[in-house]
Amino acid sequence: MISMRITALTLCIGALALTACGEKLAGAAKKADTSAFQGSGGPASFVASGWKAGDRAAWEKEVRVRTEHQNEYVRMAPMKH
């Protein structure tokens, strides 16, 4: 009976030690609440050419173009009979 208590106590202490010394999980980066077309402020290499931060019409056009390029029905040439 005493050996079971010692084993249980040892396991609890071991679990506590592992949780106390473990890595902290990296949470999601907190971001200001801005619209997507305002830009990220990141490197220019991640921005489509010709687009400027804050230009909503150009941003919406770029999103439409990217979506069309991902559409398999648009990408495939029509079959000829």
Q: Give backbone dihedrals phi and psi of 14, rounded to 5 degrees, phi first.
A: -65, -45
pLDDT over threshold 80, residue 69:
yes
**pLDDT of 30-51, one tens digit each?**
666 777 777 767 776 667 777 7
* H, E, C per residue of the chain: CHHHHHHHHHHHHHHHHHHHHCCCCCCCCCCCCCCHHHCCCCCHHHCCCCCCCCCHHHHHHHHHHHHHHHCHHHHCCCCCC
Tell me the pLDDT tens digit for each residue of 53-64.
Answer: 788 888 898 888
* Both structure tokens of 2: 């005493």
Q: What pTM does this model have? A: 0.44
